[in-house]
């Protein structure tokens, strides 16, 4: 056997709790179903394309939340592709703990797990040895890389879960330089852990598909898996397959000229669309001094038109501060004091907080009370 064909995925995080989306009832459960649906879609493609191997490079599921029903469902899917050998390693979210489903579940005959008790397996009919470098309970296993000695007469594959060229000290997630992996004698390194797509590292030897579905606003770009071929001492031929159904998108929206939550909602409805998009919306621009956006009302107002919205208000009040600052009395002194602090602000977050303090302070001086964005009187 001179070549093998494969699918390579990682970081599915099945049964993830999605607690950050809990503000919208039913959405965490929907996202969990979407993760499983996308994984099953990949298995269906494997059923028709019949790759020799399916490599899963860690974090297949969330150890603390994974349900037996989910494990049983994916194992049934594996059993439906008996001609494809499924080889898995543990990640830092599904470590090789004593109670892990990797060790306690009776997987189908075509499913193989590589870990501490078995770091590699040789498939003689494919002339292929697959090595696994995954994650134990609370620690990485990169030291085992030193014991792996590939036979150069075979096709050698390494499944790896960890950082590549990202040494971050005490938070070391199996950090290994790409040069070290390249020098290890492997014909393909199927990596996982980084949720963003990284292709052709180590001069075209190391590939990281990213999460199968995006899991947060810090995971922009394409998401999916790799298909490819690998051979003895040959450069692998690899293609990325985009498969995700959901997108996380950050949208900046200028509210200058708008003076109510209803106007902002209508404006956002024209900008944010798509039933499978989760939005992080940043409000910018100048607003009237007597209007302060209610984040909760804006989010609930968009709930029926889009899948999810998280509003971040970074707008500022359109106040003639120069005029106010030269006034005598309490109002002028207050404005001058806050303006001085704003000039010395060390970050945008601090500046925004001070601008909010200025808005509420002026309202309190003028009206003797403060009406919060939610309508509560202080």
The pLDDT score that the predictor gives to residue 289 is 72
For the chain, domains (ranges, CATH) are 3-242 (3.60.21.10), 247-367 (no CATH)
Which secondary-structure segment (H or E) carries 231?
A: strand 224-231
Range of 236-240, 285-289, 331-335 with top mean pLDDT? 236-240
Answer whether residue 376 shows pLDDT above 70: no
CA torsion through residues 336, 337, 342, 343, sign: positive
- Per-residue burial over 143-182, b = 16 or more CB atoms within 10 Å of its CB, e = otherwise: ebbeebebeeebbbbbbbbbbbeeeeeeeebbbbebeebb
pLDDT digits (tens, 9 = 90+) for 351-368: 878 877 877 787 677 665
- Per-residue burial over 257-285, b = 16 or more CB atoms within 10 Å of its CB, e = otherwise: ebeebeebbeebeeebeeeebbbbbbbee
Alpha-carbon dihedral angle through residues 337, 339, 340, 344, given to the nearest 10 degrees: 140
Half-sphere exposure of 221 (CA within 13 A, CB side): 13
pLDDT category, 66, cuts 50, 70, 90?
very high
Q: What is the mean pLDDT of residues 336-356?
A: 83
Q: What are phi and psi of 154, to 5 degrees?
A: -115, 165
Q: Give the Cα separation of 163 and 11 in Å (integer).
A: 13
The pLDDT score that the predictor gives to residue 368 is 59
Q: Which of 110, 132, 105, 107 is nearest to 121 (CA)?
A: 132
Chain centroid offset of residue 368 CA: 46
pLDDT digits (tens, 9 = 90+) for 21-63: 999 999 999 999 999 999 999 999 999 999 999 999 999 999 9
Phi-psi region of 281 (alpha: psi -120 to 50; beta: other; left: phi over 0): beta
Answer whether residue 139 shows pLDDT above 80: no
Which residues make Cβ contacts (< 8 Å) with residue 375, sequence separation at least 6?
Answer: 294
Lowest mean pLDDT among 98-107, 190-199, 233-242, 334-343: 334-343
Answer whether residue 322 shows pLDDT above 80: no
Q: What is the mean pLDDT of residues 287-297?
A: 86
Question: Residue 56 in contact with residue 190, Cβ under 8 Å?
Answer: no
Q: Give the Cα separation of 84 and 48 in Å (integer).
A: 11
Q: In terms of DSSP bridges, do strands 111-113 and 120-123 run parallel, antiparallel, or are they unpaired?
A: unpaired
Question: Residue 75 in contact with residue 44, Cβ under 8 Å?
Answer: no
Task: Quickly list H helices, 197-239.
Answer: 201-204
In Å, what is the CA distance from 305 to each residue of 35, 93, 268, 299, 300? 22, 34, 10, 10, 10
Residue 81 is given by DSSP the state -
Task: Look up tokens 């708008």; give the residue.
Answer: 258
In Å, what is the CA distance from 144 to each residue of 266, 277, 350? 57, 41, 46
In Å, what is the CA distance from 176 to each residue of 141, 145, 236? 11, 10, 21
Residue 22 is given by DSSP the state T
* C-beta neighbour count of 130 within 10 angstroms: 27
Q: Give the Cα separation of 250 and 309 in Å (integer).
A: 10
């Amino acid at each position: 056997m001179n070549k093998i064909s494969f699918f390579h995925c990682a970081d599915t995080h099945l049964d993830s709790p999605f607690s950050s989306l809990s503000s919208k009832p039913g959405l965490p459960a929907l996202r969990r179903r979407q993760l499983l649906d996308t994984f099953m879609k990949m298995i269906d493609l494997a059923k028709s394309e019949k790759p020799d191997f399916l490599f899963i490079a860690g974090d297949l599921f969330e150890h603390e939340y994974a349900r037996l029903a989910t494990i049983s469902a994916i194992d049934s899917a594996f059993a439906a592709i008996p001609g494809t050998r499924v080889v898995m390693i543990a990640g830092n979210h599904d470590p090789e703990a004593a109670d892990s489903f990797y060790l306690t579940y009776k997987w189908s005959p075509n499913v193989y797990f590589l870990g501490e008790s078995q770091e590699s397996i040789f498939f003689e009919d494919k002339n292929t040895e697959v090595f696994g470098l995954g994650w134990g309970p609370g620690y990485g296993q990169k030291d085992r890389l030193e014991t792996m000695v590939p036979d150069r007469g075979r096709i050698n594959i390494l499944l790896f879960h960890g950082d590549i060229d990202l040494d971050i000290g005490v938070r070391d997630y199996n950090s290994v330089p790409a040069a070290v992996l390249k020098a290890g004698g492997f014909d393909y390194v199927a990596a996982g852990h980084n949720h963003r797509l990284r292709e052709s590292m180590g001069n075209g030897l190391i590939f990281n598909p990213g999460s199968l579905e995006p899991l947060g606003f810090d995971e922009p770009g394409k998401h999916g898996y790799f298909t490819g071929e690998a051979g003895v001492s040959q450069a692998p031929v690899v293609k990325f397959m985009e498969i995700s159904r959901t997108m996380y998108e950050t949208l900046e929206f200028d509210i200058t000229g708008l003076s109510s939550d209803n106007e902002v909602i209508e404006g956002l409805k024209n900008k944010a669309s798509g039933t499978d998009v989760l939005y992080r919306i940043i409000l910018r621009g100048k607003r009237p001094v007597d209007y302060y956006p209610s984040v909760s009302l804006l989010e609930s107002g968009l709930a029926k038109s889009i899948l999810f919205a998280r509003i971040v208000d970074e707008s500022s009040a359109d106040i003639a501060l120069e005029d106010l600052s030269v006034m005598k009395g309490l109002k002028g002194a207050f404005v001058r004091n806050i303006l001085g602090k704003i000039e010395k602000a060390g970050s945008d977050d601090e500046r925004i907080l001070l601008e909010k303090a200025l808005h509420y302070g002026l309202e309190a001086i003028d009206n003797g009370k403060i009406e919060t964005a939610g309508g509560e009187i202080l």
